[in-house]
Amino acid sequence: MSHNRPPLHPDPNPGVAHPAQILVVGSGGREHALARALAASPKVARVFVAPGNGGTDDGPDARIQNLAVDATDVPGLVLAAQENDVDLVLVGPEAPLSMGLCDALLAADIPVFGPRRVAAQLECSKAFAKQFMQRHGIPTAAAAVFDDLDEAKAWLAEHPGRVVVKASGLAAGKGVIMAEDSEQAAAALDRMMRDRIFGEAGETVLLEEWLEGEEVSVLAFCDGRTALPMPPAQDHKRAFEGDRGPNTGGMGAYAPAPCLDAEGLRRVHHEILLPVIRGMREEAYPYVGILYAGLMLTADGPRVLEFNCRFGDPETEALLALHDGDLYDVLDACVRGRLSTDDLRWKSGAAATVVLASAGYPGAYAKGQPISGIEDAEAEAGVTVDHAGTRRDADGRCLSAGGRVLAVTGYGDDLQDAIARAYRAADAIHFEGKHARRDIGARALGRTR
Amino acid sequence: MFELDRPHEECGVVGIWGDPAAEQDVARLCFFALYALQHRGQESAGIAASDGLGMTMHKAMGLVAQVFDERAMQSLRGHMAIGHNRYSTSGSSHVLHAQPYRIETMWGPLAVGHNGNLTNTALLRRRLLERGVGLSGSSDSEVITQLLAAPPGLGESRGPDWVGRIRALMGAADGAYSVVVLTREGVFGVRDPLGMRPLCLGVIDRDDGAGDGEGGPRGYVLASESCALGTVGARYVREIEPGEIVHLGPHGVRSIRGAEPARSALCVFEYVYFSRPDSLLEDQSVHHVRQRLGAQLATEAPADADVVIGVPDSAVPAAIGYARALGLPYSEGLTKNRYIGRTFIEPTDGLRRARVRLKYNALRANLQGRRVVLIDDSIVRGNTAGPLVRLLREDGGAAEVHVRVSSPPVRHPCFMGVDMATHDELIAHREDVEGIRRAIGADSLGYLSYDGMMQVVASAPAGENPLRGHCGACFDGRYPLPLPERERSVAAEGAPS
């Protein structure tokens, strides 16, 4: 391939010459893991995290430090990036993407790793994403889009049986209803379109074919013209063992997911990721950032369930444990539109992440519980502990401050080894009401045995 | 007549769709985009605008700034517009041939702007005339317009099928065409399957880009060169691919494959001379490519000298690249009167002989007693290089003048829309390098090699397109498409026996 050829001449747009200052937007375990990976680069002088958490708050002169700006304060973030001479911004969560943070940063000539608002429609508008996939022949569940309740119900009457009801807009992960029959589907439509439980996000609704198979996520680095995938990952959304209980932000994850082999990943790359990036460029939405494809592995091949426009949490913690190389180099190549296959390498072995949550999560839970044992946990070989819902008190002690408190990641020779390390480390950490699922990766282990 | 020894570019095109809700003066944007593309054609200019129902147009002979005044701009209404700057290559110099062309069709008004040159115009004209379609002039662009006025083969049962019509055009037409089309249904952009002429896409973002979470961009812009995008506040997105049709409308940008892509053949002279240095071609900066052409020239044809100068403006980047590669100082040695090409007053015979002096002056302070390398981007007829060398010696006091050219010798005419010359006029067709050196009176003469040039040009980023290629027929005589009878005989006449 011609892009493997060394350039004949020096890059006319060399990146930042001095050690870079980076701003990571967000406050979860994902942002801690990203900040840590970036701070490990010799080309990076400092990583700011806005607003960050107890783990990204190492003091005013530290390599990683917090900025007291909310992740959805777009003008505040632009100002903070300017005042702190930030060379690159990395956006963690989806809300600032949907608010146009990347557009505002680019308007101020600040390089940003993340899509513009129009490109983030892939996540923020399920209707846009579905119609885009239909235009470009990208394999996905058959679906119809409605903004009229009566028309949607008329469609249900003609298509009895199981159906998936999706709110088009962002609904904090709650906008997907798996309806066993038309009655359940009609009730979901009423709640979204008549009662407006998701507000504007439910004004437009998708009725979608119910797909059977195993779910897997493939995240890819994108530079506007091409996409390079990471190893496939799987996460655990439900609160309790056996995938029971309410949906959460994610209780654990592991990678590589054995259900998608190298040939499967190649298909996902060529049938889904690359066509998406090409199509977005064709339609004037060049896509820079992470493209997260949530997939169903059906008997007919991989099908797209949804796209996210960002790193997943906690998949990111597991994936970064597998990344071999300098994350800053990869992000820099992406924002300059020069990503090549040489930029991305992965370790052999596997990684697993266990989330330690507050009892009661995702419902009501207690905050402010002192946390101990993090150093003991990190003494375990191959283990990192990323902070999610934590803060420091005036004496520098670490307290719980959210539903998902910590993400404990183990890296090992294989998945079993990685999981064992993660749990040994997780067991060394203590706080009042600590809750973790004990079966992270169990399904994959059953498969590999 | 004041354009000196350069091939002439043959038109610039613009197409803009604006969100009607944003109530933008799209024709005015089109005017400024044409203004930025003035270097691509100075003979006539025009704009057609539409509000989705009616269509208004204004065009005339002259420069963009001469063609349009406030009254003309006021008459151009609507949220869509196309524009055109012309330099005639096919069809004579007459207002009849000013573009856009506008006609009425079954589906309302249609306007077309074309950059390029068709190689089978005669055949297409005959077919149209046989069908009873009258043509008003000799231009191939009118032929394109009339072909688009005909419904596609399968008819149109469900409203206008512009994509079908454009595909039919692409099936019939051979040669170079980057076309913008204005219809009630939106603005279309088309690039020929070889991608011989550039065409790029930009987007006009909302003002702050943030906050409301609603709505798409304020508009989309098609332009021959990306330098026109910044002028109208648009952000460069990409090039239109060879063989691609794009449709700009309320749905955003739709991309349609109009013809199967072949190995592309972008005119390499776009890099060498035509395009503005601040434009991007194949996503690489034209200025940087020219610098690298100069650096490559330095490795192939170094010179023992005290100072490097370039012929302004187009050879300056190559001169800088050449000087840097050899560690020689770069300096200004010639100043150019930028307005000389814009007068219609004919010089007297005496002045005509010294016409190079009307355009350039030597900067004696930088040249006196020095051994000078003069970098030029191309030598076509060779009637400018000689006077420039004399100017540097006589007026500048240069001790030696070594001429280096950042492209290979031009030996073959162009049939794809560049007004270059006939074989007989091309100095490199008649003379070898030593003969040319003697003719222009230089102490030494060196050209960039064909392979060296192509190597530099082909180093565009992101090798995603294995079909990328370039047309260098004027250098090596290998034309990227079959030529019809008359042109073939002309080309053969020049072939080395």
Residue in A192, A195, A155 with CA at minimum distance from that of residue A175 = A192
* pLDDT class of B419 with cuts at 50, 70, 90: low
Residues of A in contact with B456 (CB under 8 A): 8-9
Q: What is the 3-state secondary structure (H, E, C) of chain B?
A: CCCCCCCECCCEEEEEEECHHHCCCHHHHHHHHHHHCHHHCCCEEEEEEECCCCEEEEEEECCHHHHCCHHHHHHCCCCEEEEEEECCCCCCCCHHHCCCEEEEECCEEEEEEEEEEECCHHHHHHHHHHCCCCCCCCCHHHHHHHHHHCCCCCCCCCCCCHHHHHHHHHHHCCEEEEEEEEECCEEEEEECCCCCCCCEEEEECCCCCCCCCCCCCCEEEEECCCHHHHHCCCEEEEECCCCEEEEEECCEEEEEECCCCCCCCEECHHHHHHCCCCCEECCEEHHHHHHHHHHHHHHHCCCCCCEEEECCCCCHHHHHHHHHHHCCCECCCEEECCCHHHCCCCCCHHHHHCHHHHHEEECHHHHCCCEEEEEECCCCCCCCHHHHHHHHHHCCCCCEEEEEECCCCCCCCCCCCCECCCHHHCHHHHCCHHHHHHHHCCCEEEECCHHHHHHHHCCCCCCCCCCCCEECHHHHCCCCCCCCHHHHHHHHHHCCC
Q: What is the 3-state secondary structure (H, E, C) of A401-420?
A: CCCEEEEEEEEECCHHHHHH
Q: Which of A9, A11, A25, A74 to mutate to test the interface with B (most CBs of B within 10 A)?
A: A9
Chain A CA closest to residue B239: A282
Chain A CA closest to residue B283: A337
Tens of pLDDT, residue by residue over B107-130, are 999 999 999 889 898 899 999 999
Tens of pLDDT, residue by residue over A27-82, are 999 999 999 999 999 999 999 999 999 999 887 778 999 999 999 999 999 999 99
Tens of pLDDT, residue by residue over B69-104, are 999 999 999 999 999 998 755 555 677 788 999 999
pTM of the model: 0.87
Cβ atoms within 10 Å of A73's Cβ, excluding its own: 17
Q: What is the spatial distance between Cα A189 and Cα A46, in angstroms, rounded to a whole number? A: 48
Q: What is the mean pLDDT of chain B?
A: 88
Q: Is B11 among the residues known to form the active site?
A: yes
Averaged pLDDT, B37-42: 90
Length of chain B: 497
Q: From first to last of its 449 residues, what are the pLDDT tens digits of chain A?
A: 333 333 333 344 445 567 999 999 999 999 999 999 999 999 999 999 999 999 998 877 789 999 999 999 999 999 999 999 999 999 999 999 999 999 999 999 999 999 999 999 999 999 999 999 999 999 999 999 999 999 999 999 988 889 999 999 988 777 888 999 989 999 999 999 999 989 889 999 999 999 999 999 999 999 999 999 999 999 999 999 998 998 898 999 999 999 999 999 999 999 999 999 999 999 999 999 999 999 999 999 999 999 999 999 999 999 999 999 999 999 999 999 889 888 899 999 999 999 999 999 999 999 999 999 999 999 999 999 999 999 999 888 999 999 999 999 999 999 999 999 999 999 999 999 999 999 999 988 886 54
Q: What is the mean pLDDT of chain A?
A: 92
> Which residues neighbour A247 within 8 Å (Cβ) at sequence distance 6 or greater?
A173, A174, A237, A238, A239, A362
Q: Do B336 and B359 contact (CB within 8 A), yes or no? A: yes
- Between A and B, how many residue pairs show a Cβ–Cβ distance under 8 A? 84
Tens of pLDDT, residue by residue over A149-191, are 999 999 999 888 899 999 999 887 778 889 999 899 999 999 9
Q: Chain A closest CA to B246's CA: distance in Å? A: 9
Residues of B in contact with A134 (CB under 8 A): none
Write out the two tokens for A46: 């400092």
CB-neighbour burial class of residue A170 (10 A; exposed 0-12, middle 13-18, buried 19+)? buried
Q: Which of B17, B238, B285, B299 to mutate to test the interface with A (most CBs of A within 10 A)?
A: B238
pLDDT exceeds 60 at position B212: no
pLDDT exceeds 90 at position B191: yes
Whether the CB of B214 is below 8 Å from some CB of chain A: the reply is no
Residue in B215, B237, B249, B213 with CA at minimum distance from that of residue B22 = B215
Q: In a 3-state reduction of DSSP, which class is residue A106?
A: helix
CA of residue B10 relative to chain centroid, distance: 6
Chain B CA closest to residue A101: B210
Whether the CB of B217 is below 8 Å from some CB of chain A: the reply is yes
Strand partners, B400: B371
CA of residue B292 relative to chain centroid, distance: 21
Write out the two tokens for A358: 């507050």
Averaged pLDDT, B17-39: 95
Q: Do B170 and B190 contact (CB within 8 A), yes or no? A: yes
Q: Chain A closest CA to B216's CA: distance in Å? A: 6
If one compares B418 and A182, the residue with the highest pLDDT of the two is: A182
pLDDT at residue B461 in the model: 58
pLDDT at residue A135 in the model: 94
Contact A9 B459 (CB under 8 A): yes
Whether the CB of B456 is below 8 Å from some CB of chain A: the reply is yes
- Residue at A48: amino acid letter: F
> Which residues neighbour A195 within 8 Å (Cβ) at sequence distance 6 or greater?
none
Q: What is the spatial distance between Cα B122 and Cα B119, in angstroms, rounded to a whole number? A: 8
Chain B CA closest to residue A136: B255
The complex's ipTM works out to 0.81
Contact A282 B253 (CB under 8 A): yes
Q: What is the spatial distance between Cα A23 and Cα B167, in angstroms, rounded to a whole number? A: 48
